[in-house]
Amino acid sequence: YTGVYQGAYRVWTAGHCVWDDVNNRLYTEITFYPGYYKGTAPLGGAKATAACPSKGYQGSTNAIFYDFAVVNLAEKFDIPEIKFEYNNKAGGAYYSYGYPADSKFNNVDNRCSSAYCCRDPYSSGSNTPIGIGCDSLGGSSGGGWLNANGNLVGLNSYGYNGMPDIM
């Protein structure tokens, strides 16, 4: 899984990256490796001291609408902080980052630059997720969506088999 370091000992990721749906509990061993690339972690790693999936994610039948979490780390890294931008309107350009597990990506991060694509075609209501054009697969969950200002506006969460280049 992937996460976004927001500074101050904090990482944003997808809720399903920290929550075990089968056993209905948090995963107990979470470590964050900033700068991870091709099997190396040049800055080392930091264990999580707490993981907090959104309240709407835990045990909800609409969990996908609330698929985000905050992970607190035991140590801070000397890397730039990424600001979180609230209430971002759908539209414009998005830059998605993640580490797909599929062998075609060869353990290398996948970066997608895409315009807003669409609202989730299988959802309705005011909290409907949006999609962007991206070919990332499983493993990239929790990776950030940055806007043109470099601010975090969303996270990789899911895709559909019938829509292979949309996340």
DSSP string, 10-31: EEEE-GGGTEETTTTEE-S--E
- 167's tokens: 């996340």
Which pLDDT band, with edges at 50, 70 and 90, does 64 fall under?
A: confident
Per-residue pLDDT reduced to its tens digit, 16-26 = 899 988 888 99
Distance from C-alpha of 28 to C-alpha of 54, rounded to nearest angstrom: 17
Per-residue pLDDT reduced to its tens digit, 99-141 = 766 666 565 555 677 766 777 777 777 667 777 887 776 677 8
- 73's tokens: 């780390």
Q: What is the pTM of this model?
A: 0.84
Mean of the pLDDT values across residues 159-166? Answer: 78
Distance from C-alpha of 48 to C-alpha of 75, rounded to nearest angstrom: 9
Q: Which residue has the higher pLDDT, 74 or 125?
A: 74
Whether residue 142 has pLDDT greater than 80: yes
SS percent in the chain: helix, strand, coil, step 5? 5, 35, 55
Which pLDDT band, with edges at 50, 70 and 90, does 85 fall under?
A: confident
- pLDDT of the residue at 108: 56
- pLDDT of the residue at 109: 57
Q: Cα–chain-centroid distance for residue 57? A: 14
